[in-house]
Structure 1
Amino acid sequence: MKRPIQFQNHPFRFLLYLEWILLAIATISAVMPYPSPKFSSRFPEIATASLIIFGLMGLRLPTGNKITKIIYTASEVLLILITGFVGGRASRLFPFIYIILVTRSCLIFNLPGRLVVTFISFILFLLTLQQRLHNFPISPQAQERFQFFTLSLALLFGLSLIFVLLLMNTVLSERQSREELAIANEKLRQYALRIENQATLEERNRIAREIHDSLGHSLTALNLQLETALKLSQSNPNKAQSFLVRAKELGSKALQDVRQSISTMRSHPLQEQSLEQAVQGLLEDFQHANGFSPICIINLEESLPNELKIAIYRIIQESLTNISKYAQATEVRIEIEKTPRSLRLSIQDNGKGFDFKQNTTGFGLQSMRDRTLAIGGVFNILSAPGYGCKITVDIPQIRLNK
């Protein structure tokens, strides 16, 4: 329910001031004595009380309940009629009181209600005018002149009501447009803030993924090389030396990754390589760390957009890192195949597996899932304890053509 229109929230204060000026003039006219009894007020107390009540009613206009609006308007009409019949000189101003009635109706009713109140005001004006003319008998010679005067006055008053109605409709429409524009601007500002916050969050997540996928992969491989070298340091120093050399290479690569992440956040990790060449580098690192090389089958007849190549590269990289750390696998198979409807990436190992329903909160799995969703793909994982793990990523054809 809308708030009632009061002095504090009145949309047009100058209307209230204009009402008070007209009503004050009418009240003074009603109480002041006049030499001619024809124009003096018969019941000045009633006329004054009606005008005061009518003015006070303007301080609170109903805008909610339709019945309340109708009762409110009917009460105003009754007060105007009382003033018109008993107000004496004050009744000269009663056409202006009808104009006040129309302006108030524009504030509380929609267009149909405004038209009804305007029409009622015009009819009551004609009835009051007709009753007043009967009180002043005139000669037949002047009757035609008074009829013309009455018609002109009625036409002028009707045009005045129409002008006031159109003016109020225009002013209210402009005010409503401004309010809607202000609301729209506020919503746009809030939406821009949400977009900015979302962009900041996405950028943070992207940076976290890049650091995790690049530096995390290098440090994981480095740790595996050092662990193996530590185990072989007593029994086979020569072989341990080779693992230390590889660890040195991985440490240098990790340092390079850190420097590059700080400067560019590794926006293009493939570094002008093809996807096949970049994946081959991941397989070599995996072989050095685990002692066997994964089987990799890539069937791509055409080049992919850089966005997709980076996402596929990162998903393969994260999968191989997880296999090295947790799977204890002896076989890994990677397939990238393009079908008429989509591109499918499949990564499968024969490791110890896990219950993916209880282990989906890790950053690695979440990173792969986020990257898949970012390129419009579908991420699926199938695993069970003792049965290895299989990850599939399906990218629809519409994303391959962008």
Structure 2
Amino acid sequence: MNSHLKINKHPFPSLLYLEWILLTITALIAVIPPPLRRFRPKPIEQSICGAFPDLSVCNLLPELSIYSLVGFALMGLLLPIKSKKYKIIYTIIEIALILITGLFGERFARVFPFLYIILVTRSCLIFNLPGRLFLTSLSFALFLFTTQLKYQLFSFQASPQAQERFRFLSLNWSLVFGLSLVFVLLMMNAVLSERHSREKLAIANEKLREYAMRIENQATLEERNRIAREIHDSLGHSLTALNLQLETALKLWQSNPGKAETFLATAKELGSKALKDVRQSVSTMRSNPLQEQSLDGAIASLLENFHRSNGILPIYQINLEYPLPPEINTAIYRITQESLTNISKYAYATEVRLELTTTRGNLRLIIQDNGRGFDLGQNTTGFGLHSMRDRTLALGGEFNINSAPGSGCKITVNIPLMRLK
């Protein structure tokens, strides 16, 4: 067979070991003499050899049963897993070996029902559910057929009372054997279902890990692009203007020192602005922006820096009833920082209000300005707004923004706290 399972790659090594143990037990049973000698049915090979005493094959029938049992045991080392044709051929050979062992072996005839249990176990490893059900039913039917055949042979040489006892024992044994096959089938289905679920869970975890890595890489790339844009738009612009001011001051230094000094003063202001932009970019890249500060203290520092940079004194109200988890503190800080940055750059506002409160298991952040506003249909694709929205949604919250040209902007963030306590 071109596709098979080797011992070290067997899907269930414990089942393979259990199969060997069961085969060893059946071999021991074959060696032990039967306790009820008088009720033992006459083997088929004795009937054949009695009818044809000159056949030399009669001497080989017991050895053939032994070879069949050994071959059946060795087949457990190679299980077809791909080709349907090889699976069917494999199963037919198994059934043939079981029938040879059961019909032509005098002592091995007592162990062949256990071989059907092994057959059902192997079928669960190589077939889907319909194939497993078919082979389980076929195993029980073959067992009944073989039992009935032995009963007919036994009835020719037994008294009516012995026939009745043998029929009763056969019926009980058939019921027990049928229930055993059903139990083995259900157990194997449960084991295989659990294995399949574990494999699916492992695949899902691996995909989730890969997806998380892609998201992390994408977030890192977007953050780098945002910082690059900020450096280009703010620091680059400031340094370019600074360079022009210094060049002009150098040209006027001999002819007009007073005017050159004015250009130098402007260059100094541009240098201070560039330094502030660098510090802001470094602050943005910090992994722990609060630096052991409380959330209300960190936001108060942001508002104070905003006041110094823009000349606008924000009106704020912060009421936190209890400490918040670190992930919420970081998210609220970043959202506030990004909102104040956008107001500084684009809003041209004269009034800013901030409200941060916790009520009834919910945290609410409201940031509002009276600036020039913008059209929501055209200005919601910026990285800053996406970043604020993603931080909110990652915590299971809601992010809303209301704005219109000439009407300012209002950002509202609601984050549930009950599941995070």
Q: Given the two structures, how large is their TM-score scaled by the length of structure 1? A: 0.65
In the other structure, the counterpart of 1:66 is 84
Following superposition, the deviation at residue 106 of structure 1 comes to: 0.6
147 and 44 in structure 1: CA distance in 2 versus 1, 3 angstrom threshold = closer
2:267 to 236, 243, 247: 247
Q: Distance in 2 between matches of 1:167 and 1:344?
A: 61
Q: Distance in 1 between matches of 2:148 and 2:198?
A: 44
Q: Distance in 2 between matches of 1:264 and 1:140?
A: 98
Q: Distance in 2 between matches of 1:259 and 1:344?
A: 27
Q: Distance in 2 between matches of 1:373 and 1:251?
A: 31
Q: How does 1:313-352 map to 2 (within 5 A)?
A: 338-339=374-375, 342-343=377-378
What is the aligned length?
318
Contact in 2 for aligned 1:218/1:253 (Cα 8 Å): yes
12 and 259 in structure 1: CA distance in 2 versus 1, 3 angstrom threshold = closer
2:163 to 138, 143, 161: 143
Following superposition, the deviation at residue 25 of structure 1 comes to: 4.9
Contact in 1 for aligned 2:121/2:184 (Cα 8 Å): yes
Structure 1 unaligned runs (5+)?
Answer: 279-303, 317-335, 346-367, 377-394
Provide Cα deviations, 1:347-381, integer angstroms capped at 9, x if missing partner: xxxxxxxxxxxxxxxxxxxxx986698689xxxxx
- The one-letter amino acid paired with 2:149 is Q
Q: How does 1:183-262 map to 2 (within 5 A)?
A: 183-262=203-282
369 and 14 in structure 1: CA distance in 2 versus 1, 3 angstrom threshold = closer
342 and 270 in structure 1: CA distance in 2 versus 1, 3 angstrom threshold = farther
Following superposition, the deviation at residue 217 of structure 1 comes to: 2.5
User: In the alignment, does 2:30 pair up with 1:19?
Assistant: no
Contact in 1 for aligned 2:31/2:107 (Cα 8 Å): no
Higher mean alpha-carbon deviation, 94-103 vs 212-221, is at: 212-221
Following superposition, the deviation at residue 166 of structure 1 comes to: 0.7
Following superposition, the deviation at residue 83 of structure 1 comes to: 1.0
Q: Distance in 2 between matches of 1:38 and 1:152?
A: 20
Following superposition, the deviation at residue 139 of structure 1 comes to: 2.4
What SS class does the counterpart of residue 154 from structure 2 fall into?
coil
Q: How does 1:305-384 map to 2 (within 5 A)?
A: 307=338, 310=341, 338-339=374-375, 342-343=377-378
Following superposition, the deviation at residue 199 of structure 1 comes to: 3.5
Provide Cα deviations, 1:307-344, integer angstroms capped at 9, x if missing partner: 4674586689xxxxxxxxxxxxxxxxxxx7745x6356
2:182 to 156, 162, 180: 162
Identity over aligned pairs, percent: 58
Following superposition, the deviation at residue 154 of structure 1 comes to: 1.1
Following superposition, the deviation at residue 19 of structure 1 comes to: 2.5
Contact in 1 for aligned 2:120/2:185 (Cα 8 Å): yes
In the other structure, the counterpart of 1:82 is 100
In the other structure, the counterpart of 2:147 is 129
Following superposition, the deviation at residue 132 of structure 1 comes to: 1.0
Q: Distance in 2 between matches of 1:104 and 1:152?
A: 26
In the other structure, the counterpart of 1:329 is none
Contact in 1 for aligned 2:245/2:263 (Cα 8 Å): yes
92 and 5 in structure 1: CA distance in 2 versus 1, 3 angstrom threshold = same
Following superposition, the deviation at residue 24 of structure 1 comes to: 4.0
Q: Distance in 2 between matches of 1:308 and 1:220?
A: 27
Following superposition, the deviation at residue 233 of structure 1 comes to: 3.2
- The one-letter amino acid paired with 2:221 is L
- The one-letter amino acid paired with 1:11 is P
Contact in 1 for aligned 2:154/2:163 (Cα 8 Å): no
265 and 149 in structure 1: CA distance in 2 versus 1, 3 angstrom threshold = closer
Q: How does 1:92-103 map to 2 (within 5 A)?
A: 92-103=110-121
397 and 142 in structure 1: CA distance in 2 versus 1, 3 angstrom threshold = farther
Q: Distance in 1 between matches of 2:163 and 2:285?
A: 97
What SS class does the counterpart of residue 136 from structure 1 fall into?
helix
What SS class does the counterpart of residue 117 from structure 2 fall into?
helix
- The one-letter amino acid paired with 2:90 is Y
Contact in 2 for aligned 1:213/1:314 (Cα 8 Å): no
Q: How does 1:239-318 map to 2 (within 5 A)?
A: 239-264=259-284, 271-272=305-306, 307=338, 310=341
275 and 72 in structure 1: CA distance in 2 versus 1, 3 angstrom threshold = farther
Q: Distance in 2 between matches of 1:37 and 1:126?
A: 15
151 and 257 in structure 1: CA distance in 2 versus 1, 3 angstrom threshold = same
1:177 to 190, 193, 197: 197
- The one-letter amino acid paired with 1:112 is P
Contact in 1 for aligned 2:101/2:109 (Cα 8 Å): yes
In the other structure, the counterpart of 1:380 is none
28 and 145 in structure 1: CA distance in 2 versus 1, 3 angstrom threshold = closer
315 and 56 in structure 1: CA distance in 2 versus 1, 3 angstrom threshold = farther
In the other structure, the counterpart of 1:392 is none
4 and 270 in structure 1: CA distance in 2 versus 1, 3 angstrom threshold = farther
Structure 2 unaligned runs (5+)?
Answer: 46-57, 290-301, 313-334, 348-371, 390-400, 413-421
3 and 128 in structure 1: CA distance in 2 versus 1, 3 angstrom threshold = same
374 and 224 in structure 1: CA distance in 2 versus 1, 3 angstrom threshold = farther
Q: Distance in 2 between matches of 1:151 and 1:397?
A: 84
- The one-letter amino acid paired with 1:129 is T
- The one-letter amino acid paired with 1:90 is F
Higher mean alpha-carbon deviation, 244-253 vs 183-192, is at: 183-192
